[in-house]
Amino acid sequence: MIDLNGKKKIFLIGIGGIGMSALAVILTKRGYEVIGSDKSKSKTVEILNEMGIKTFIGHSKDNISKDIDLVVYTNAISDDNPEYIKAKELNIPAIERAKMLNMLSSNKFAIGISGTHGKTTTTSMIAKIFLNASKDPTLAVGGHLNEINGSGYEGSGKYFIYEACEAFGSFLKLFPEIAVVTNIDDDHLDYYKNFANIKKAFYQYLNENIPPHGMIIYNSDDKPLNSVVKKINNKRKIAVGIKNKKADFVAKDIELNEFSSNFTVIRKGKIVGRFFLNVPGIHNVYNALLAIATANANGIEYEDVYRTLANFKNADRRFQIKSKTEELTIIDDYAHHPSEILATLSAAKNLSIKKNAMLIAIFQPHLYSRTEFLYKEFARSLAIADKIVLTEIYAAREKNEHNITTKIVYDEIVKIKGQENVFYTESLDNIPDTLKPLLLNKKNVVVTLGAGDVWKISEKLAGNL
């Protein structure tokens, strides 16, 4: 393995991605010469360029030179990536992102946030609490935080807070002192093949990667997660819950409002206080409980937690309000799994009912494999909305080997809602025209959903206003 002591030249393949850009920032702040490439220009690439990090647009073997000491890549790159191939030809060491993240965090007290859903929101909450408590942590977040103008930050404190993602088994390369876990669900089936393998991976991560002196902070109301944690011995555990009244941290007397919530927290039978949370949805109450428990375990005063949650603004694309008028509210969300869509649309439905408005969901499926595995679940989650607009699948890294299209989701929704309530347009560009007759309703809440580029629709709608 390459020695990271001293100044080295490191090339990041896919540097514009949220996870890779965080590494780029931290490496640069630690004195390494960082360059990289990405398939297209973006806001993230612009921020990196402003920091003096050279970024090539487009992947080419010519971007890799002999003076590069190390190449870091994401699991999302294809085997025929020309930069990865050139690095191998030149015998330049190449490691995946998770290994580099673990190397960077090895000299810090690491807190890893994992789980199928809610990682970025929970990481953002914990990160902001630690920042407000003057802990100055190093951060690698899965979304853009305005406080650090990106997803990566090099702090002077002892903590390193990062997302420990289960995709491709990446979190098995990470060894945090504290593992915060939101839930376990059936995602990334293109890699894991079945739900049993996902649970095995979480068990391995929590049982083998967390040191004996470490700690697991988890949502005990999530049955798959709870069953995994119960099997693990010789680890300190802190449970949070709403249904599980025996959990270490329990939320009760929950009030869900249009854009916020508030609840009382009980710790081991004693009232901690009432918390106001500046984002909506019962799923975010769970995320906040995990953040509260993590802060308490690290000696942070509840006053710092109160203040952070009351003023909390989520990372970009997490129930992000793009525009709000009396007649039309436009929300953009990264939700790309049926459970995430269910949580997001449940919060949006609460808003639409209170506003006496129609709820319109615009969904762009992400990955052919995920759509193929979960199309029936997608349909059931989307059916919460009054009207659903579908567009074609965002392929990302995948090839369409089984000729999968959004039509399989469309057909399932028709069975539930009827053909008059679901619409399909192949191109994002045609969605505004599809929406026009729907927006004739006096009041509307429009939610764009997906991990691809469907966010462009919410920005276009907001811009037209």
Count of all residues that appear for the chain in the document: 465
Separation between Cα atoms, residue 300 and residue 290, nearest integer Å:
14
Identify whether the C-beta of residue 229 lies closer than 8 Å to the C-beta of residue 207: no
Q: What is the pLDDT of residues 195-249, one digit of tens each?
A: 999 999 999 999 999 999 999 999 999 999 999 999 999 899 999 999 999 999 9
Give me the pLDDT at residue 1, please.
40
Structure tokens at 127: 């990160």
Answer whether residue 3 shows pLDDT above 60: no
Domains and CATH numbers, the chain: 9-95 (3.40.50.720), 108-310 (3.40.1190.10), 320-464 (3.90.190.20)
Give me the pLDDT at residue 205, please.
98
Quickly count: other Cβ atoms within 10 Å of residue 334's Cβ.
26
Long-range CB contacts for residues 233-239, cutoff 8 Å, separation at least 24: 235/206, 235/207, 235/210, 238/293, 238/297
Q: Sheet containing 249-256: which strands, arranged edge to edge? A: 150-153, 138-145, 159-163, 109-114, 178-181, 215-219, 236-241, 249-256, 261-267, 270-277
Rounded mean pLDDT, 99-113: 97
Global pTM reads: 0.89
361 closest CA partner among 416, 404, 291, 398: 416
- Label residues 99-129 b or e (16+ Cβ within 10 Å = b): ebbbbbbeebebbbbbbbbbbbbbbbbbbbb
pLDDT band at 78 (very low <50, low <70, confident <90, very high): confident
Answer whether residue 441 shows pLDDT above 80: no
Residue 398 dihedral angles phi and psi, to the nearest 5° = -95, 155
Amino acid at 384: I
Active-site positions? 119-120, 163
* Whole-number percent of the chain with pLDDT over 90: 83
